[in-house]
Amino acid sequence: MHIIGRRHFLAAAGLSLLTSRPSFANVGARTLVLDNIHTGEKLKVDYWVEGRYLPDALAAVNRVLRDFRSGEVHPIAPELLDLLSALRGRLETHQPMSVISGYRSPATNTMLRGEREHSGVATKSLHMRGMAVDIRIAGRSLKSLHAAALAQKGGGVGYYPTSDFVHVDVGRVRSW
């Protein structure tokens, strides 16, 4: 019988917390319900079914989450979709996620950085890589959405109560 020391056990436990992402069963379907507040587009789609991502569904999500200012479409990270699906499940809601910002082109990101009301826009925003989205959900308080996103430990979580949204991304786990 091998006995591991307390220090090794704690190090391994800490590492598993740092690297954990939402987990799913490999059967069934993963669904998203999105409402782009800028374009008026609504989408309800099973983007993953029985162990595989569906290319047509991913293309539809990419279109709804496009840069609404330039019209530029960019692939959205499947991990972000999984995070949103898990968040929807955690909140036990069937309401659409209202999308404030999905993909953001480098030109749009630069423009926003120059505007006073968007002073928090990061130079290397994960929005530009299709790895971030700003959302809110009708019938759920921003506080509960924020708490649920933090509990997912799936990436970054930003809380913007004065702008009425929560930022979620699939970068490293952090919050602001």
Structure tokens belonging to residue 41: 């587009």
The pLDDT value recorded for residue 150 is: 98
Give the range among 22-31, 82-91, 120-129, 152-161 with minimum mean pLDDT.
22-31
In sequence order, what are the residues at sequence separation of 6 or more whose Cβ sits closer than 8 angstroms to the Cβ of residue 106? 128
The pLDDT value recorded for residue 26 is: 66
The pLDDT value recorded for residue 78 is: 98
In sequence order, what are the residues at sequence separation of 6 or more whose Cβ sits closer than 8 angstroms to the Cβ of residue 68? 36, 38, 39
Q: What is the separation, in whole angstroms, between the first and last Cα of the chain?
A: 45
Q: Where are the domains of the chain?
A: 6-175
Q: How far is residue 68's CA from residue 136's CA, in Å, rounded to a whole number?
A: 17
In sequence order, what are the residues at sequence separation of 6 or more whose Cβ sits closer than 8 angstroms to the Cβ of residue 94? 33
Instruction: Tell me the per-residue pLDDT of 86-128, one tens digit each, with 9 for 90 and over.
Output: 999 999 999 999 999 999 999 999 999 887 666 678 889 999 9
CATH of region 6-175? 3.30.1380.10
**∠ CA 103-61-172, rounded to 5°:** 50
CA 124 vs. chain centroid, Å, equals 16
The pLDDT value recorded for residue 27 is: 72
- pTM for this predicted structure: 0.83
The pLDDT value recorded for residue 15 is: 42
Asked whether residue 74 carries a pLDDT value surpassing 70, the answer given is yes
The pLDDT value recorded for residue 120 is: 73
Q: Which residue has the tokens 């490293």?
A: 172
Asked whether residue 14 carries a pLDDT value surpassing 50, the answer given is no
